């Protein structure tokens, strides 16, 4: 960007959405840093992607306010109030030309926030919204730029249906289209995903009318050939250090110090062959899907959830996030019965299992827990 700014040409900097990370607390932490850095770069407009709501609307608003991020969207509404959640469009003036920046989200892209228990948003039909909005925007802007978060497949039909869009930057696309395409009167291009590329479009705009006369697009891969900016690199290094500390502090709250180094969890498969009845009852129980419950909430690497939704998280040789694809996901036999390598046959294991329930079924997570009624549901 320094290179571009040094050319002293008017620059319009836009993004077509999905700036935010996946639904996990670690990525939320990273997203805060990413938003600061994005704010530093000084974008003119950012279209809303469904991922940008991963951590809820209050978090998005906080990021917008703290970092001056110019998010815009014309078809996502608060389900309760019916109001648009972001400015409907943005007008940015460069060299006497007024650019109208507008963004719509594909309703098929599910918005799932980490915080919500019910649907919070409604998404209007992009074509209908744009049909109504473009003529209105034309009165205020010379050149209309769509930051469509629609993927490739839905961008083209919209452009065919709605006349008057000058430039379309396609969001939610994973293909690297090296050049622009011109469809009817609209120049379309994309900068692909994950900030791994930066797209540059040189626009030749007719003075006075704002009409795009010619366009020339290039995509640069931000690989090792592009040297790092020293100031940015220092910030990234500093952040990476903080991130390690942050993760370590979280893990430290759930130390792996119970049990013994000498014992092993053998995993559920090891018990199946000899205990068929117990196996049958277990496979149908919610304990067998406990990991999916936290994964669905985007929290499958959070110590505060893993302690109860996996096997032996706080035990030596127990479930570990450092060993992905661990055999010890879910609340397996050994979560209640203890290390399989110990295999007791003196009634000790039965007693221990009875006491195990309330470690996880505590007041906060299982307020209705009652041994007799709960055991009835998983008995074996």
Lookup result for tokens 């294991």 = 349
Which of 245, 234, 220 is CA-nearest to residue 37? 234
Whether 282 contacts 378, CB under 8 Å: yes
Which of 27, 37, 115, 91 is CA-nearest to residue 69? 37
Closer to ligand HEC by Cβ: residue 253 or 274: 274
Residues from 328 through 367 that contact ligand HEC (CB under 6 A): 331, 333-337, 340, 343-350, 353-354, 356-357, 359-362, 365-366
Smallest distance, ligand HEC to C-beta of residue 259, A: 14
Whether 17 contacts 76, CB under 8 Å: no
Lookup result for tokens 């694809």 = 325
Smallest distance, ligand HEC to C-beta of residue 315, A: 11
Smallest distance, ligand HEC to C-beta of residue 114, A: 9
Smallest distance, ligand HEC to C-beta of residue 264, A: 9
What is the number of other CB atoms lying within 10 angstroms of the CB of residue 93? 11
3-state class of 80 per DSSP? coil
Q: CA–CA separation, 172 vs 107, rounded Å?
A: 13
The token pair at 169 is: 């930057």
Smallest distance, ligand HEC to C-beta of residue 314, A: 10
Residues from 82 through 111 that contact ligand HEC (CB under 6 A): none
Compute how many residues bind ligand HEC; rule: CB under 6 A.
56
Q: Which residues contact 345 (CB under 8 A, 6 or more apart)?
A: none
Q: Which of 86, 299, 314, 318 binds ligand HEC (CB under 6 A)?
A: 299
Burial zone of 173 (CB within 10 Å; 0-12 exposed, 13-18 middle, 19+ buried): buried
Whether 178 contacts 169, CB under 8 Å: no
Q: Which residues contact 66 (CB under 8 A, 6 or more apart)?
A: 35, 36, 39
CA atoms in the 13 A half-sphere facing the CB of 247: 14
Q: Which of 12, 141, 159, 290 binds ligand HEC (CB under 6 A)?
A: 290
Told to check if 246 binds ligand HEC by CB under 6 A, we report: no
Q: Which of 92, 137, 308, 314 binds ligand HEC (CB under 6 A)?
A: 308
Closer to ligand HEC by Cβ: residue 13 or 360: 360
Told to check if 20 binds ligand HEC by CB under 6 A, we report: no
Told to check if 380 binds ligand HEC by CB under 6 A, we report: yes
Closer to ligand HEC by Cβ: residue 187 or 305: 305
Closer to ligand HEC by Cβ: residue 99 or 282: 282
Which residues would be at the binding site for ligand HEC (CB under 6 A)? 266, 268, 270-271, 273-275, 278-279, 282, 286-287, 289-290, 293-294, 297, 299, 302, 304-305, 307-309, 331, 333-337, 340, 343-350, 353-354, 356-357, 359-362, 365-366, 368-369, 374-375, 377-378, 380
């Amino acid at each position: 960007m320094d290179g571009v700014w040094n050319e002293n040409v008017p620059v319009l900097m836009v993004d077509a959405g999905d700036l935010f990370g996946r639904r996990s607390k670690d990525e939320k932490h990273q997203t805060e840093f990413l938003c600061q850095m994005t704010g530093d770069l000084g974008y003119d407009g950012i279209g809303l992607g469904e991922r940008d709501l991963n951590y809820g609307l209050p978090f998005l608003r906080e990021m917008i306010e703290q970092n001056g991020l110019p998010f815009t969207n014309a078809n996502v509404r608060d389900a309760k109030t019916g109001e648009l959640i972001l400015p409907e469009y943005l007008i940015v003036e460069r060299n006497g030309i007024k650019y109208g920046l507008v963004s719509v989200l594909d309703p098929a892209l599910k918005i799932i926030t980490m915080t919500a228990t019910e649907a919070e948003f409604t998404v209007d039909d992009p074509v209908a919204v744009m049909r109504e909005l473009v003529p209105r925007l034309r009165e205020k802007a010379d050149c209309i730029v769509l930051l469509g978060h629609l993927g490739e497949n839905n961008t083209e039909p919209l452009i065919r249906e709605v006349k008057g869009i000058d430039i379309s930057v396609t969001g939610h696309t994973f293909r690297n289209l090296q050049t622009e395409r011109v469809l009817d009167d609209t120049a379309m291009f994309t900068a692909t995903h994950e900030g791994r590329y930066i797209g540059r479009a040189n626009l030749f705009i007719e003075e006075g009318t704002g009409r795009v006369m010619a366009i020339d697009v290039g995509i640069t891969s931000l690989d090792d050939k592009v040297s790092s900016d020293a100031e940015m690199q220092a910030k990234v290094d500093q952040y990476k250090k903080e991130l390690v500390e942050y993760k370590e502090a979280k893990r430290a709250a759930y130390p792996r110090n119970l049990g013994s180094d000498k014992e092993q969890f053998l995993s559920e498969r090891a018990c199946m062959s000899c205990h068929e009845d117990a196996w049958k009852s277990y496979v149908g129980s919610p304990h067998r899907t406990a990991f999916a419950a936290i994964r669905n909430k985007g929290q499958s690497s959070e110590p505060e959830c893993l302690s109860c939704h996996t096997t032996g998280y706080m035990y030596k040789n127990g479930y570990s996030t450092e060993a992905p694809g661990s055999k010890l996901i879910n609340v397996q036999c050994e979560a209640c019965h203890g290390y399989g390598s110990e295999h007791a046959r003196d009634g000790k294991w039965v007693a221990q299992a009875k006491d195990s329930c309330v470690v996880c079924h505590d007041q906060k997570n299982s307020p209705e827990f009652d041994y007799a009624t709960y055991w009835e549901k998983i008995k074996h």
